Structure 1
């Protein structure tokens, strides 16, 4: 069994603990936390499981890495601390671990990443013999392996469109929803996730990955952005009130331009309430879904709805993204040390998991 550590136990780390508990080829050997209130608590409790897992959380990172774990799921945030996340990840790689994480957006496409992100990782790999695979929680598979798989079913292809369509009132991360995305803020509020070029920084790597797999040259990557205000105030169960006149929905596209036209598109449509921007695309149940649409002959549309934690769609989407990362560990352990992307790491069947529960 592969000795595996989870670093960070927030929304992503909690799901990673469950995924590891359900994976017969992995053995949880450490949990790293930053919140003093979590130190000493059992991993099963932090994961929301009914049973203990026998591993107590610790904030002693040096001691955990000194144990030379074979794999690390790095689940701490990189949104507002990319430099710290990069340093943490490189420490784990130098300790010889294969690391999987959603935290470093620029490394979705390592070939196109800036040297300040790529070079420290390559140096850590050369020094310690570990590996790194980065995939998104938006989720990554919805913007790379799924559309590419479906593209092989078509005859002619005009546009590949990957959509995330969500009601964020179900999202249990108020700081991100309000401050990073701008929900409930004035329309002129400069939400960091919506800054010009920020969507390209986050999702441009996946556009480049798909272009490379499809054998096309990108002219450029463009962005579109639209924001809508709430007509009336709304109250959410998880985050309280959102006032009329504040941002209630946002829609943006990251477009890969081929031959002067948008041909590879990643689109996000996010609302805080279904009543806002009703003319925009909506998920089948009004809550959340990921969708791939291939315009061509034939036209192909695939919608994926995932739920977890009592039917929560945001948790379900995150859980599938975490599953992609955790299930990649076995392949990475068998591969040579390296910096890998979604085109390198196969999506494999869940061997040994049928009928197995993490609870």
Structure 2
């Protein structure tokens, strides 16, 4: 029987806590460290934070304490940063301390952000003989795995479009909803070309476009952002607070991959505070549309499990499932950037 892999959980927001619980509930892993940003959580037992029995592992806000641990892998699950590269230094330190790193925010296909950028990350991983991976459902799965597999039925492939609609109305964290996601903002204050959110999401979603192009054998000339906002038609009460009429109620972060000036791949992520807004009503969670011979349309929805009504959403379980499923693969992979 394989030995238990030693896990460090980094951050305990909604996604980090879901991964933490999954690690504690599994017989395949041993939690050896827990990093938190909150002073209120530092010193607490991991079990108390996860609503699980005591583990003997105390949370710390000291990166030096985490670096000193003997661990196989760090599950890096902080809130999405701005600028997008803000967490690179800590990730490189984790790698150079001899720990594999799995991120849910970045590093899915870092070559899309520049060869020099990817080589710097790869150097830190190779130096310590470990691996860096970006793992998730989008990026990480919807385009790179599902759309790539679906395109295999085509004799001629003209265009691939992947879109996601995410209901954000039940997210409780105001800092995340009104900060990282940009909901409730005055549209006049949102720069969809060179603003901080536009730069972050262009860099994030360029990665699945580039990864899908590589799998399809397409050589992209350029990656082109094409973002949009949807405004609240009336005041909206959501779990995180109130969105005034005329303020941002949904964002569309859309990136195109161009070949000879033609948009051959489109990847769009729509975060909305109301799935009944006209732009999103009736749409599935994911939709893959392939134009070619033959064409194909694939619609997918995540559904509630047996613990329906729990505060943890299906999307969170899905990401945690992808992360835990990747741990042994990443730990066994050649040093450098993960090629899953």
TM-score by length of 1: 0.82
Aligned to 1:158: 158
Q: Residues 240, 63 of structure 1: CA spacing in aligned structure 2 closer, same or farther, 3 A cutoff?
A: closer
State the partner residue of 1:349: none
Residues 19 and 150 of structure 1, relative CA distance in 2, 3 Å threshold: farther
Query: In structure 2, do the counterparts of structure 1 residues 139 and 313 end up closer, same or farther at CA, with 3 Å as the change threshold?
Result: farther
Counterpart in the other structure of 2:138: 138
Distance 1:116 1:319, change over 3 A: farther
Q: Aligned pair in 2 of structure 1 residues 190, 313: CA closer, same or farther (>3 Å)? A: farther
Structure 1 residue 292, shift from structure 2 partner? 2.3
Q: Which residue of 2 aligns with 1:320?
A: 318
Superposed displacement of residue 214, structure 1 = 0.4
Q: Aligned partners of 2:328, 2:319: CA distance in 1, in Å?
A: 16
* 1:292 and 2:292 matched: no
- Which residue in the other structure is 2:230 paired with? 228
Q: Are 1:79 and 2:81 counterparts?
A: yes
Please tell me whether the aligned partners of residues 177 and 240 of structure 2 are also in contact (alpha carbons under 8 angstroms).
no
Provide the rounded CA distance (Å) in 1 between the counterparts of 2:155 and 2:28.
39
Cα deviation, 1:260-287, whole Å, max 9, x if unaligned, reads: 33221111223222443x1446435xxx
Distance in 2 (alpha carbons) for counterparts of 1:160 and 1:193 = 28
Task: Answer whether contact 2:84 2:203 (CA < 8 A) is retained.
Answer: no
Q: 1:193 to 1:175 in 2, by over 3 A?
A: farther
Partner Cα distance (1:35, 1:199) in 2:
26
Give how far 1:115 is off: 5.7
CA drift at 1:201: 1.4
- CA deviation after TM superposition for structure 1 residue 173, in Å: 3.1
In the aligned structure 2, how far is the partner of 1:295 from the partner of 1:75?
35
Task: Report what 1:239 is aligned to.
Answer: 240
1:261 paired residue number:
262
* Closer, same or farther: CA 88–208 of 1 in aligned 2, 3 Å: same
8 Å contact kept, 2:47–2:55: yes
* Distance in 2 of aligned mates of 1:228 and 1:178: 15
1:34 aligns with 2:26: no
Could you report, residue by residue, the CA deviation over 1:281-309 in whole angstroms, capped at 9, with x for unpaired residues?
6435xxxx223232331423131314478
- Aligned partners of 1:324 and 1:266: how far apart in 2? 20
> What is the Cα deviation at residue 146 of structure 1?
1.6
Deviation sequence 1:93-116 (CA, Å, 0-9, x none): 112111101233xx3223333366
Which of 30, 44, 47 is 2:47 aligned to? 44
Mapped partners of 2:312, 2:203: distance in 1 = 22
Q: Aligned pair 1:65/2:78, yes or no?
A: no
1:140 aligns to what SS in structure 2?
Answer: coil
Asked whether the 8 Å contact 2:236–2:242 carries over to 1, the reply is yes
Identify the residue that residue 55 of structure 1 maps to in structure 2. 57
Q: Using the TM superposition, give the Cα deviation of residue 313 of structure 1 relative to its aligned residue in structure 2, in angstroms.
A: 9.4
- Residues 68-114 of structure 1 deviation map (CA, whole Å, 9 limit, x = unaligned): 2111111123512655521221122112111101233xx32233333
Deviations 1:23-57 (A, max 9, x none): 432211111112111122222232244x3334221
Query: Deviation at 1:209?
Result: 0.7
Structure 1 stretches of 5 or more lacking a match?
A: 346-359
Residue 302 of structure 1 corresponds to which residue in structure 2? 299
Count of aligned positions: 332
The reply to whether residue 339 of structure 1 matches residue 337 of structure 2 is yes
What is the CA deviation profile of residues 149-178 of structure 1, one whole-angstrom value per residue up to 9, with x for unaligned ones?
A: 222234443322211102221223322322
Give 1:2 shift: 0.9
Aligned to 1:263, what secondary structure does the other structure show? Answer: strand
Distance 1:89 1:203 in 2: 20
